[in-house]
Structure 1
Amino acid sequence: MNPLDDASLLALIKNPVTREKGYRLLVTNYQKQVYGVIRKMVIIHEDADDITQNTFVKAFKHIDKFKGDASLFTWLYRIAVNESLNFLKKKKKHDFFTLENHEKRMASYLDTSPYIDGNDIQRLLQKILLKLPEKQRLVFNMKYFEDLSYDQIGEITQTSIGALKASYHHAVKKIEKEINGD
């Protein structure tokens, strides 16, 4: 099945007769991408799964507030990013984790989880990314892994393109430094 454009999805969702079908198609069209951005932020599969579900629940509850000034993709990503960042803040506060302990826990998960596949280089990159500040990690993930443009990332994060380019540049430099052992 080909993904529907935003206007068609919204028309289905806004019609009480086809609302449920519209929601199902919205999830089908965007779940993989939304899960991907969340997973790269929170690492742990079960957490990413829960946050993905929360993202779509929040989107469903607030679909009437969607203005259409951005794409549904951008709007969902914005919700997913905010949900991920809020989750990480709550997790650190609730578990009384220092940033270093949190990084070690996530790195350990990368080594032992059956949900993580990939070779040693990919695991190393993921571990290095855990050391980045959340905003830099988010921008790097969206630019490098998701191949989003700075315009798209700017819409999602509501950040200026200049600040995004700086975040990405700093992230790349820190990654290079870690890989080179400097």
Structure 2
Amino acid sequence: MTDFEQIYADYFKPVYAFVLSLSRDAAIAEDITQETFLKAMKNIDAFKGECKMSVWLCQIAKNSYFTYVDKQKRISQDTMLERANLRSPNLEDALANREQAYRVHQALHRMDEPYKEVFTLRIFGELSFAQISGLFGKTESWARVTFYRAKKRLLAELKEDSP
């Protein structure tokens, strides 16, 4: 077994689980995970050992996933709208939830980095603050503060936009 085959064997499941937590779609997660390992294999010389291999691979996976989302122009709005519709017992509630989901999506889209990314990873990716901090190479406290600042900005913007 080559060194890269060993890396693949050791890290496929955690990288796949990470991408699945972002995408919530097994087929997309499988594709992005495969793409991640292809990119890693092509750029293995770029790995300097300054972080864990799993963090490096998850960073590649995260970037690959966001590139995929941008290409698909699907960003989380569709998922939020579907969830809003599934939970709504009647049309009025569905429309209110759809409008709210759209407003959240728009506010997130306008948010600066790293706030938007940290918020997205925490809420939609359901990552812990420790996992987020590892992806950014920062402390857990940084991830926590960044998330709460993003949340505060999002709520303030939604309050401004409310009719």
1:65 aligns with 2:46: yes
The percentage of counterpart residues that share the same residue type is 27
Structure 2 counterpart of 1:103: 80
Deviation at 1:155, TM superposition (A): 3.6
1:103 to partner: Cα distance:
2.9
Kindly state the Cα deviation for residue 170 of structure 1 after the two structures are TM-superposed.
6.9
1:142 aligns with 2:123: no
Q: Structure 1: which 5+ residue stretches go unaligned? A: 1-19, 111-127, 175-182
Q: Shift of residue 88 of structure 1?
A: 1.4
Distance in 2, Cα, partners of 1:165 & 1:98:
23
Instruction: Rate the CA distance shift 1:98–1:24 in 2: closer, same or farther, 3 A.
Output: closer
Deviations 1:94-117 (A, max 9, x none): xxx475334335x49x9xxxxxxx
Aligned positions of 1:163-178 closer than 5 A? 163-169=142-148
Q: How many residues align?
A: 125
Shift of the alpha carbon at 1:159? 5.2
Whether contact under 8 Å (1:42, 1:88) holds in the other structure is no
Aligned to 1:9: none
Name the TM-score, length of structure 1 as normaliser: 0.55
Instruction: Tell me the SS of whatever aligns to 2:2.
Output: helix
- Which runs of structure 2 are paired with 1:1-182 in the superposition (5 Å)? 21-92=2-73, 97=74, 100-104=77-81, 107=83, 135-139=118-122, 141-143=126-128, 149=130, 153-158=132-137, 161-169=140-148
Question: Which whole-Å CA distance do the structure 2 matches of 1:166 and 1:24 have between them?
Answer: 38
Asked if the contact 1:139/1:164 (under 8 Å) is kept, the reply is no
Q: CA RMSD in A?
A: 3.5
Q: Give the Cα–Cα distance (whole angstroms) in 1 for the partners of residues 75 and 127 of structure 2.
A: 26
- TM-score between the two structures when normalised by the length of structure 2: 0.60
Q: Partners in 2 of 1:137 and 1:98 — Cα distance?
A: 11
How far residue 39 of structure 1 moved from its aligned partner, in angstroms, is 0.8
Q: What letter matches 1:154 in structure 2?
A: S
Preserved CA contact (<8 Å) 1:136 1:171: yes
Q: What's the counterpart of residue 6 of structure 1?
A: none
Name the residue aligned to 1:114: none
